Amino acid sequence: MNLDELNRVANAMVTPGKGILAADESTGTIKRRFDAIGVENTEDNRRDYRELLFRSTEAMRDCISGVILYDETIWQKARDGTPLVKLIEQTGAIPGIKVDEGTKPLPGCPNEVVTIGLDKLTERLPKYLEQGARFAKWRAVIDIGPGIPTHTAIHANAHALARYAALCQAAGIVPIVEPEVLMDGDNDIDRCYEVTQWMLKETFHELYYNRVALEGMVLKPNMAIAGKKSPKRAGVDEVAEKTVRLLKACVPAAVPGIAFLSGGQSDEEATAHLDAMNRIGNLPWKLTFSYGRALQAAPQKAWSGRPENVAAAQRAFTHRARMNGLATRGQWRADLERKAA
């Protein structure tokens, strides 16, 4: 393992002013996004849509440090024959790859899942490296509900994350470690805090026992936030303050950076939360974004599958990327949203 190189890439992924575009929706997930805008889920449409994002030169060059790709995309070529990976590299952003193979029900644990995909990972990683990927992503999914999560689910998922991370580092690829606690339930922010703390403690414990070098990884967590169905909303400052407190209690300073998932927050909420955390300042790691929905909802809507809307979609993407770029420095302001509108 070349730890200096892993550390260099990990630091580049969390460069202030920039963050990660999570464009790694599986074919099933992108179908849900396309259904919402009336676009047929074909290979060409998926290619055209992602090409539009990667050709948003200004956003990519100034605000995007890396792009997480789905397996199909890493092998795809743009309409003019240029590999999509090359388009990304030409903007200065780093290509990455989602390597988990989704979730399966966890036996004996009703309503809980475990992420799969370790079996052939050793053989797959060198092929992705050769194709240009310098980092990878693996997402564990923990749900909150009556009686869940169980320790079984927390442990099985943390262990798989750590096994994945160790295999990535051995292959010269920076692992994004994503232990996602869902924000879909009716729980309040404190319950989210408690479960996320449990999952993060277990994850770093497993990373240690699996000999993962913390300097060569990026953490992708959820924020401490109330569930979407909770009657008790938490304000921006409370989310920021509790998330920072939680991360300080769980994430060693050797980790170069933390890149949040958006998890179903509105575009502006995701930006405001990141901004408020960076305004707190004096943090041992960089805090940035690795957003899927919060970066792409606006361009998807603007595009709606029409070639004549490509420029508008690129403007929408550029705007969100800019707003989140400012948030990584604690320099975002709500009135910048209004001005753009």
| Residue 104 vs 151, nearer CB to ligand 13P | 104
| Residue 177 vs 247, nearer CB to ligand 13P | 177
| Residue 170 vs 268, nearer CB to ligand 13P | 268
CA dist 96 to 41, 43, 134, 146, Å?
23, 20, 6, 36
Shortest Å distance, C-beta 292 to ligand 13P: 3
Radius of gyration of the chain (CA): 19
Phi, psi (deg, nearest 5) at residue 109 = -125, 85
Output the furthest CA–CA distance in the chain (Å, rounded).
Answer: 53
SS3 (DSSP) at 45: helix
- The enclosing H or E element of 331 equals none
**CA–CA dist 217, 181 (Å, integer):** 19
Catalytic pick from 178, 180, 202, 206? 178
Q: Which residues bind ligand 13P (CB under 6 A)?
A: 22, 139, 178, 261-263, 291-294
Q: What is the DSSP string of 256-272?
A: -EEEE--TT--HHHHHH
SS3 (DSSP) at 310: helix
**Count of C-beta atoms within a 10 Å radius of residue 4:** 10
Q: Which residues contact 179 (CB under 8 A, 6 or more apart)?
A: 140, 142, 157, 158, 161, 199, 200, 203, 221
Shortest Å distance, C-beta 17 to ligand 13P: 19
Is 178 an annotated catalytic residue?
yes
Is 43 an annotated catalytic residue?
no
Partnered with residue 64 across adjacent β-strands are: 19
| Residue 108 vs 291, nearer CB to ligand 13P | 291
| Residue 180 vs 206, nearer CB to ligand 13P | 180
Structure token digits, residue 256: 């170069």
Shortest Å distance, C-beta 290 to ligand 13P: 6
Question: Measuring CA to CA, which residue among 50, 56, 55, 82 is closest to residue 68?
Answer: 50
| Residue 209 vs 321, nearer CB to ligand 13P | 321
- The enclosing H or E element of 96 equals strand 94-98
Question: What count of Cα atoms within 13 Å lies in the side-chain half-sphere of residue 5?
Answer: 10
Catalytic residues: 178, 220
